A and B are shown apart, each in its own frame.
Chain A
Amino acid sequence: MTPTKPENQVTLSRRGLFLGAAAGAAAGTALPARAAPPDVSASADPMQTRHLFYGSGPQAGVATLPQKHAMVMTFDLTTQDARELQTLLARWSAAIGVLMEGAPVGQVEPARASAVALDTGEALDLGPAALSVTIGLGPRVFGPELGLAGHRPAKLRDLAPLPSDNLRPEFTGGDLSLQACAEDPQVVYHAVRVLTRIAKRTGAATVRWTQMGFGRASAGKGQVTPRNLLGFRDGTRNIREPDEFDAHVWSREGPAWQHGGTYQVLRKIEMGIENWDTDRVDDQNAVFGRHKASGAPLGGHHEFDTPDFTAQGADGAPVIAEDAHIRLVAYEHNEGTRILRRSYNYTSGLNAVGRLEAGLMFISYQNDPAHFEKLQRKLGAGDALNEYISHVGSALFWVPPAAPEGSYIGAPLFE
Chain B
Amino acid sequence: MSRSLLRRTLPLSALAAGLALGQSALATGTPGAPVTRIAVTMTGKDGGTCVLDHDSAPAGPVTFVVTNRSAPAISEMELLSDNRILGEKENLAPGLPPVRFTVTLDGGEYQIYCPNAAQDTIAFSVSGHIAQRAQGTTADLLEEGTKGYAHYVDGMVDAMVTGSKVLQAKIDAGDLAGAQTEYAKVRPFYERIESDVEGFTLPGSDPTDNAGNLDYLIDMRASNLDPAVGWHGFHAIERDLFQRGEITDDTKALAAELTTNATTLQHLSAELRYRPEDLANGAASLIEEVQSGKISGEEEAYAHIDLVDFAANIEGAQQAFAFLSPGMKQIDPDLTQRVDARFGAVKAMLETYRDPQSLGGYARYTASLRASDARKLSHTIQALQEPLSQIAEKVATAG
Residues of A with Cβ closer than 8 Å to B? Answer: 13-15, 17-18, 76, 78, 86-87, 90-91, 93-95, 97-98, 103, 105-107, 110, 112-116, 197, 200-203, 206-207, 403, 405-408, 411
A114 CB to nearest chain B CB (Å):
4
| Given pairs A17-B47, A112-B397, A114-B280, 5 additional interface contacts (CB within 8 A) | A14-B47, A14-B48, A90-B96, A114-B393, A405-B70
Of the residues B94, B280, B390, contact of A201 by C-beta under 8 Å: B390
Residue with the greatest number of chain A CB neighbours at <10 A, chosen from B70, B94, B387:
B94
B85 CB to nearest chain A CB (Å):
10
Contact yes or no, A115 B393, CB < 8 A: yes
Of the residues A17, A103, A408, contact of B94 by C-beta under 8 Å: A408
Of the residues B91, B345, B389, contact of A202 by C-beta under 8 Å: B91
B324 CB to nearest chain A CB (Å):
13
- Please name the residue on chain B nearest to A111 by beta carbon: B115
Contact yes or no, B94 A93, CB < 8 A: yes
Contact yes or no, B73 A114, CB < 8 A: no
- Please name the residue on chain A nearest to B382 by beta carbon: A200
Contact yes or no, A91 B115, CB < 8 A: no
Contact yes or no, A200 B387, CB < 8 A: yes
Residues of A contacting B379 in the complex (Cβ-Cβ under 8 angstroms): 76, 206-207
CB within 8 Å of A: which B380-399 residues: 380, 382-383, 385-387, 389-390, 392-393, 396-397
- Please name the residue on chain B nearest to A118 by beta carbon: B75
Given A90-B96, A106-B115, A114-B277, also A15-B338 (CB < 8 A): no
B2 CB to nearest chain A CB (Å):
16
B116 at interface, CB cutoff 8 A: yes
Residues of B contacting A201 in the complex (Cβ-Cβ under 8 angstroms): 91, 386-387, 390
Contact yes or no, B48 A200, CB < 8 A: no
Contact yes or no, A406 B94, CB < 8 A: yes
- Please name the residue on chain B nearest to A92 by beta carbon: B93
- Please name the residue on chain B nearest to A53 by beta carbon: B72
- Please name the residue on chain B nearest to A17 by beta carbon: B47
Given A94-B75, A98-B72, A406-B70, also A112-B47 (CB < 8 A): no
Beta-carbon contacts of B93-117 to A below 8 Å, as 1s and 0s?
1111000000000000000000110
B219 CB to nearest chain A CB (Å):
26
Contact yes or no, A406 B116, CB < 8 A: no
Residues of A contacting B73 in the complex (Cβ-Cβ under 8 angstroms): 14, 94, 98, 103, 106
Contact yes or no, B396 A90, CB < 8 A: no
Contact yes or no, A107 B94, CB < 8 A: no
Given A201-B387, A406-B69, also A91-B116 (CB < 8 A): no
Of the residues B95, B380, B382, B390, contact of A408 by C-beta under 8 Å: B95
Given A200-B385, A407-B94, also A116-B48 (CB < 8 A): no
Residues of B contacting A97 in the complex (Cβ-Cβ under 8 angstroms): 72
B249 at interface, CB cutoff 8 A: no
B185 at interface, CB cutoff 8 A: no
- Please name the residue on chain B nearest to A93 by beta carbon: B93
Contact yes or no, B72 A93, CB < 8 A: yes
Given A86-B96, A103-B73, A408-B93, also A114-B382 (CB < 8 A): no
Contact yes or no, A112 B396, CB < 8 A: yes
A31 to B102, CA, bound (A): 44
CB within 8 Å of A: which B309-349 residues: 338, 341-342, 345
A sample of 19 cross-chain residue pairs with beta-carbon separation below 8 angstroms, ordered by A number, consists of A14-B47, A14-B73, A18-B47, A78-B345, A86-B96, A87-B96, A90-B96, A91-B91, A94-B73, A106-B75, A107-B115, A114-B281, A200-B387, A206-B379, A206-B382, A206-B383, A405-B70, A406-B69, A406-B94
Of the residues B69, B95, B341, B389, contact of A203 by C-beta under 8 Å: B341
A59 CB to nearest chain B CB (Å):
15
A200 to B287, CA, bound (A): 15
Residues of A contacting B46 in the complex (Cβ-Cβ under 8 angstroms): 14-15
Of the residues B72, B94, B386, contact of A200 by C-beta under 8 Å: B386
Residues of B contacting A408 in the complex (Cβ-Cβ under 8 angstroms): 93-96
Given A15-B46, A201-B387, A406-B69, also A116-B392 (CB < 8 A): yes
B44 at interface, CB cutoff 8 A: yes
A86 to B392, CA, bound (A): 26
CB within 8 Å of A: which B342-374 residues: 342, 345
Residues of B contacting A93 in the complex (Cβ-Cβ under 8 angstroms): 72, 93-95
B280 CB to nearest chain A CB (Å):
8
Of the residues A95, A116, A206, contact of B72 by C-beta under 8 Å: A95
Residues of A contacting B72 in the complex (Cβ-Cβ under 8 angstroms): 93-95, 97-98
- Please name the residue on chain A nearest to B397 by beta carbon: A112
Contact yes or no, B386 A114, CB < 8 A: no
- Please name the residue on chain B nearest to A405 by beta carbon: B70
A15 to B393, CA, bound (A): 31
Of the residues B71, B95, B281, contact of A407 by C-beta under 8 Å: B95
Residues of A contacting B397 in the complex (Cβ-Cβ under 8 angstroms): 112, 114
Given A87-B91, A106-B116, also A200-B47 (CB < 8 A): no
Residues of A contacting B341 in the complex (Cβ-Cβ under 8 angstroms): 203
Residues of A contacting B91 in the complex (Cβ-Cβ under 8 angstroms): 87, 90-91, 201-202
Contact yes or no, A91 B387, CB < 8 A: no
Residues of B contacting A103 in the complex (Cβ-Cβ under 8 angstroms): 73
CB within 8 Å of A: which B264-295 residues: 277, 280-281
Given A91-B91, A91-B93, A107-B116, also A78-B383 (CB < 8 A): yes
Residues of B contacting A18 in the complex (Cβ-Cβ under 8 angstroms): 44, 47
B348 CB to nearest chain A CB (Å):
12
B342 CB to nearest chain A CB (Å):
6
Contact yes or no, B277 A200, CB < 8 A: no
Residue with the greatest number of chain B CB neighbours at <10 A, chosen from A76, A94, A95:
A94
A17 to B72, CA, bound (A): 12
A78 to B385, CA, bound (A): 14
Contact yes or no, B338 A114, CB < 8 A: no
Residues of B contacting A98 in the complex (Cβ-Cβ under 8 angstroms): 72-73
Residues of A contacting B345 in the complex (Cβ-Cβ under 8 angstroms): 78
Residue with the greatest number of chain B CB neighbours at <10 A, chosen from A115, A116, A201, A405:
A201
A238 CB to nearest chain B CB (Å):
32
A113 to B342, CA, bound (A): 25
Beta-carbon contacts of B69-83 to A below 8 Å, as 1s and 0s?
111110100000000
Given A405-B70, A406-B94, also A114-B392 (CB < 8 A): yes
CB within 8 Å of A: which B150-196 residues: none
- Please name the residue on chain A nearest to B396 by beta carbon: A114
Residues of B contacting A14 in the complex (Cβ-Cβ under 8 angstroms): 46-48, 73, 118
- Please name the residue on chain A nearest to B394 by beta carbon: A114
Q: Which 3 A-B pairs have the closest CB atoms?
A: A14-B47, A90-B93, A200-B386
Contact yes or no, B94 A203, CB < 8 A: no
- Please name the residue on chain A nearest to B47 by beta carbon: A14
Residues of A contacting B281 in the complex (Cβ-Cβ under 8 angstroms): 114
